[in-house]
Structure 1
Amino acid sequence: MTQLPYLLLLLSNVLALLSVLQEKGYSVRISQKPYDTYIYIDNFMFGRHVEKQHLINFLLENNIAGPPPVLPIIGGRGVGKRTLVTHVCNDERVSSQFNFILHINGANLGQITENGNLSARTLVIEFFSDVDDNDWKKFYSHVTNLSRENKVIILTTIEKLERFGTVKPMTLNRLVYEEYRYLFKTLAFGSTDPVDHPQLIPIVEEFAELLEGRLIPANILADVLRKNLNVHFWLCKLRQVQITAKKNMTMSGAHPHKLFDQGHPAHFTGYILSPPTIITPNVPQNDLPQLRFGDLLTGHIFPPNGDFKLISWESRIPPYTSFVHTARFCLSLSQDQPESPLSGRKHRRPFS
Structure 2
Amino acid sequence: MSCPPLYRQPYSVYLSLDRCMFGRSMEKDTIIEFLLRSEPPNNAVNNLGVLPIIGPTHIGKSTLVEHVCHDEKVRNHFSLISVYRGNDLKDETEASFRDKCVIKHQNDQASEKRLLIVIELLEDVDEDAWKRLYSCERSMPRGSKMIITSRSENIIRFGTTEPLRVKRLPVEAYWYLFRTAAFGSDDPEQHPKLASIALEMVDAMQGSFIFASMGADVLRANFNTRCWSRILTRLRQYLQKNASLIGEYPDDVKVKGYPRFSWSIIKEKPDKYFMLHDIYQRDSAHEKVPQISLSDLLTDRAQTTGKHEILFWKSRIPPYFNYICKCEVRDM
The bucket for the TM-score relative to the shorter chain is: 0.7 to 0.9
Provide the aligned length of Structure 1 versus Structure 2: 298
Say if 2:242 is the partner of 1:239. no
Aligned residue among 5, 10, 31 for 1:6: 10
| Counterpart code for 1:47 | G
TM superposition shift of 1:9: 6.7
TM-score when normalising by structure 2: 0.81
Equivalent position SS for 2:328 = strand
Structure 1's unaligned 5+ residue stretches are: 11-34, 336-352
1:135, 1:253 → 2: CA distance? 32
| Cα separation, partners in 2 of 1:116 and 1:279, compared to 1, 3 Å | closer
TM superposition shift of 1:102: 0.7
2:140, 2:255 → 1: CA distance? 37
Q: Which residue of 1 aligns with 2:28?
A: 52
Matches within 5 A, 1:252-291: 252-258=246-252, 260-263=253-256, 264-269=258-263, 270-281=273-284, 290-291=291-292
**2:310–2:325 contact (8 Å) kept in structure 1:** yes
**2:309–2:327 contact (8 Å) kept in structure 1:** yes
| Cα separation, partners in 2 of 1:197 and 1:151, compared to 1, 3 Å | same
TM superposition shift of 1:7: 6.3
1:175, 1:195 → 2: CA distance? 23
| Counterpart code for 1:44 | C
2:177, 2:318 → 1: CA distance? 20
TM superposition shift of 1:61: 1.2
Matches within 5 A, 1:69-80: 69-80=49-60
| Cα separation, partners in 2 of 1:315 and 1:245, compared to 1, 3 Å | same
TM-score when normalising by structure 1: 0.77
Equivalent position SS for 1:200 = helix
Equivalent position SS for 1:45 = coil
| Cα separation, partners in 2 of 1:129 and 1:54, compared to 1, 3 Å | same
| Cα separation, partners in 2 of 1:149 and 1:98, compared to 1, 3 Å | same
Equivalent position SS for 1:274 = strand
Q: Which residue of 1 aligns with 2:323?
A: 323
| Counterpart code for 2:57 | R
1:293, 1:116 → 2: CA distance? 34
1:80-127 Cα distance to aligned partner (Å, 9 max, x none):
111111101111111122242111135457645146848970000012
| Counterpart code for 1:310 | I
| Cα separation, partners in 2 of 1:254 and 1:76, compared to 1, 3 Å | closer
Say if 2:193 is the partner of 1:199. yes
1:183, 1:44 → 2: CA distance? 11
Matched-pair identity in %: 34
Q: Which range moved further: 87-96 or 238-247?
A: 238-247
| Cα separation, partners in 2 of 1:67 and 1:250, compared to 1, 3 Å | closer
| Counterpart code for 1:57 | E
TM superposition shift of 1:312: 2.1
**2:275–2:329 contact (8 Å) kept in structure 1:** yes
Q: Which residue of 2 aligns with 1:249?
A: 243
TM superposition shift of 1:275: 3.5
2:243, 2:277 → 1: CA distance? 16
**1:109–1:139 contact (8 Å) kept in structure 2:** no
1:29-53 Cα distance to aligned partner (Å, 9 max, x none):
xxxxxx9xxxx72123321111111
Say if 2:98 is the partner of 1:104. no
Q: Which residue of 2 aligns with 1:152?
A: 146
Q: Which residue of 2 aligns with 1:138?
A: 132
Say if 2:75 is the partner of 1:95. yes
TM superposition shift of 1:290: 4.0
Q: Which range moved further: 194-203 or 153-162?
A: 194-203
1:140, 1:249 → 2: CA distance? 39
Matches within 5 A, 1:217-236: 217-236=211-230
**1:4–1:191 contact (8 Å) kept in structure 2:** no
Equivalent position SS for 2:311 = strand
1:167-202 Cα distance to aligned partner (Å, 9 max, x none):
000000111222212211111011211122122011
Q: Which residue of 1 aligns with 2:174?
A: 180
Q: Which residue of 2 aligns with 1:86?
A: 66
CA RMSD, Structure 1 to Structure 2 (Å):
2.7
Q: Which range moved further: 93-102 or 209-218?
A: 93-102
Higher relative contact order structure (alpha carbons within 8 Å, sequence separation ≥ 6): 2
| Cα separation, partners in 2 of 1:218 and 1:283, compared to 1, 3 Å | same
Q: Which residue of 2 aligns with 1:18?
A: none
